[in-house]
A and B are shown apart, each in its own frame.
Chain A
C-alpha cells in the first residue's frame, strides 16, 4: 500500500519535472498507457503499428530507433566524461570485470556491438597483448640455457596467424567518430576496425567471431530477441556471447538509494555537464524498462545459447550475462 503511494508520488514528481523542463517539442510527448518503473513493453492491441517503450514513454517501434539515434548523437562528445561522472568511475571496473570474465585467448576475434567509443575493444586489445607478452616471456624464460643461436632462431617464430582483432560496430556514426579519435590519440594502429551497423541486422557473415559483446547497448535495441538471434548467427561454434547491462538491484535499501540517485542526480549531471537533460532522463528510464536478470537469461536461452550464466556487479546495478553457442 505504502509502496504504491510512493510510486504515485514519484510519477507525479516526474511528470512535474517534465512539464517544467519541456523545451521546443522535438520530442512529441504522448502520455503512454503504462507508467511505473516495472512495466514491460506496452503493446496497443488494436493499432497496426506496434508500440514500444522509449524511457517511460510509449512510442511506435519505427520511431524508437530514430529517437535513440538522436539521443546518442547529442551525447557522443561528452559520452565518456558523463560515464565517469555518473558512475563515479565505477564503469571502468565493470568493463575490466567483463574482460576478466571473458579471459580471451590470443587470436580471438571480438565483435563489439554498440561499442561506440570503443572502451571494450581497447581493453580487449590490451589484455590480449599482455597475455602474449607473458607467454613470450615464459617461452623465453624456459630457454635460458639455450645458446644465443637458438634464441635468435626462436625470435622470428612469432605466430602471425594468431593476431587478435576487434571490430567495433555501432549504429551511430557520431559515436564511432569519437571512438576513432580516441584510438588515434592512444596510438592503436592495427587490430581495430570500425563498422556502422544495426544490432538487429549485422552486416557480417555467419560464424565469424569468437566473442560477441554488447556493453550497455542492448536496452536501446528495439527488438532485443532479434539482436540475440543475430548474435547467435555471427558467432562461431563455441563462441561466447557476453552482455553487460544495467539490471535490477536486489537489495531493497540499495534499490531505494539507486532510484533516488538515478532520478534526482543523473539528469541534473546531464544538464550541467552535457547540456542535455532529456537524454539522461531517457537513460535512467530505459534502465527501468529493461527485463531483470532471470528474464533476460531466459531470452538469451531462447535465442539458442547454452550454459547461460549471469554475474551481478555492485549489488545488481550491473549484470553480466554470458552464453555459449554450442
Chain B
C-alpha cells in the first residue's frame, strides 16, 4: 500500500517535472487571461492541497517539494479539466476581475449586440455586428451554438439583474427609513411595471424574441429565468408564506439574509393575513400569470407610454386582491355558519333529551 502511494507520488512528481520544464519554454501567446485565471485557481488548489497534506502526511523535508510538484500537476489537471469542459456557461473559477473569462467575453459581445437588434432583429447577424463593434472578427459568433437564443436569454438575465438591483435599492431605502413601505399589491404592480418597461426599446422585435424563447431547446432556460424573477419579486415583497415542499429558495446570495425582513412582519395595511395562508406555489403562480398576461397586452398596446397596459395590470391586481379578500370572507363565513350549525345541533340534542350530560 505504501509502495503504491510512493509509486503514485513518483508518477505525479515526474508529471509535475515535465510540466515545470515545458511551461517556460513555450513562447506562443496563450489565452493569457484564461491561463492566468487557471493559475490563480491552481494556486488556490495548491493552498488547499497544502493544508490537506500538512494535516495528513508525516511531514519531512521532501514532502514540501512533492507538494509543489503536486500543485503543478494539479494546475495541469485543473487546466485540462477546465478546458476540457468546453461548455462556456459552466462555472468559472476565475474571480479576478482584471482578467476576462470566456463567459465575460461572451457577455460583452452579447451586450454589444443588443444595440444592433433594432437593425437586424434577434439573430446571428446582430451578434456578428456586436462582435465587430468590439473589434473582433465576425467568426467569433461561432462560440454561440444557440445563436439568437443566447442573445435573448442574455438580455433577459440582464433585465432580471437590473430589476433585482432596483428592488434591493428600494428595500435599503425602506430599511433606512427614507421611504415608506408599500402595500404588497402596489409593490407587485410597481415591480412588474419596472420590469416590463425594460422591454420598451425592443418592443417592435419583442414578438420575435418571444417566439425564440418558445423553441423547445430554449424553454427550460426561459422558464428558469421567469421563475427566478418571480422569486425575487416575492422575496422583496416580504413573502414569508409556508414552503410546502421544504426546499429552499433557489437564490444563494440571499440565503444568509432571511431574517432582515422580520421586523416588518406586522405592518398595518396589507392583505397579508390572507396571503400568508396561501402557499408558496399559489403566490408564484399568480405573479407569473400577471406578468405573462401583461407582457402579451404590452405587445399590441399602442397607447401613449403604454397606459393601457398599466391599466390592465392595475385591474388584474385588483382582481387578485378581491379574490383574496373574498376567500378570506368565505372562510370566516363558513366558520361562522359551521359554528351556528353545531350550536343548533347541541340545542336540539338537549331539547330531545338525547344529550346525557347535565
* Chain A residues within CB distance 8 Å of chain B: 101-105, 107-108, 135, 210-211, 229, 232, 235-240, 294, 297-298, 301-309, 322, 324, 326
**CB pair B143 A307 closer than 8 Å:** yes
**CB pair B135 A237 closer than 8 Å:** yes
**CB pair A306 B29 closer than 8 Å:** no
What residues of chain A lie closer than 8 Å to B86, measured between beta carbons?
307-309
**CB pair A108 B138 closer than 8 Å:** yes
Q: Which of A101, A211, A232, A308 contacts B83 (CB 8 A)?
A: A308
Task: Name which residue of chain A comes closest to B86, CB basis.
Answer: A309
Residue tally, chain B, CB below 8 Å to A: 26
- Give the shortest distance, in Å, between B207 (CB) and chain A (any CB): 14
Task: Name which residue of chain A comes closest to B143, CB basis.
Answer: A307
**CB pair B135 A324 closer than 8 Å:** no
Q: How far is the CA of A302 from the CA of B23 in the complex (A)?
A: 10
**CB pair B142 A103 closer than 8 Å:** yes
**CB pair B28 A306 closer than 8 Å:** no
Task: Name which residue of chain A comes closest to B135, CB basis.
Answer: A237
Task: Name which residue of chain B comes closest to A131, CB basis.
Answer: B125
- Give the shortest distance, in Å, between A40 (CB) and chain B (any CB): 15
Task: Name which residue of chain A comes closest to B22, CB basis.
Answer: A302
Q: Counting CB contacts under 8 A, is B348 at the interface?
A: no
Interface centre among A104, A237, A326 (most CB of B within 10 A): A326
What residues of chain B lie closer than 8 Å to A237, measured between beta carbons?
135-137
Q: Which of B30, B124, B135, B140 contacts A304 (CB 8 A)?
A: B30
**CB pair A326 B138 closer than 8 Å:** no
Task: Name which residue of chain B comes closest to A107, CB basis.
Answer: B138
**CB pair B34 A210 closer than 8 Å:** no
What residues of chain B lie closer than 8 Å to A235, measured between beta carbons?
137
User: Which B204-251 residues sit within 8 Å CB-CB of chain A?
Assistant: none
**CB pair A240 B124 closer than 8 Å:** no
A306-B102, A309-B86 in contact; A105/B141 too (CB < 8 A)?
A: yes
User: Which B32-83 residues sit within 8 Å CB-CB of chain A?
Assistant: 34, 80, 83
Task: Name which residue of chain B comes closest to A235, CB basis.
Answer: B137
- Apart from A104-B138, A239-B139, list 4 A-B contacts with CB within 8 A: A240-B139, A240-B142, A304-B29, A304-B30
- Give the shortest distance, in Å, between B7 (CB) and chain A (any CB): 24
Q: Which of B84, B88, B139 contacts A238 (CB 8 A)?
A: B139
Task: Name which residue of chain B comes closest to A101, CB basis.
Answer: B142
Q: Counting CB contacts under 8 A, is B13 at the interface?
A: no
What residues of chain B lie closer than 8 Å to A294, measured between beta carbons?
84
Kindly list the 4 A-B residue pairs having the minimum CB-CB distance in the complex, ordered from nearest: A238-B136, A238-B140, A238-B137, A240-B139
Residue interface mask B122-146, A partner, CB < 8 A = 1: 0011001001000111111111000
Q: How far is the CA of A235 from the CA of B128 in the complex (A)?
A: 16
Interface centre among B30, B124, B137, B141 (most CB of A within 10 A): B137
Q: Counting CB contacts under 8 A, is B26 at the interface?
A: yes
Q: Which of B83, B124, B136, B137 contacts A103 (CB 8 A)?
A: B124
A105-B128, A239-B137, A307-B86 in contact; A322/B31 too (CB < 8 A)?
A: no
Q: How far is the CA of A294 from the CA of B86 in the complex (A)?
A: 12
Q: Which of A135, A232, A297, A302 contacts B125 (CB 8 A)?
A: A135
**CB pair A105 B125 closer than 8 Å:** yes
Q: How far is the CA of A105 from the CA of B120 in the complex (A)?
A: 13
Q: How far is the CA of A326 from the CA of B105 in the complex (A)?
A: 9
**CB pair B137 A306 closer than 8 Å:** no
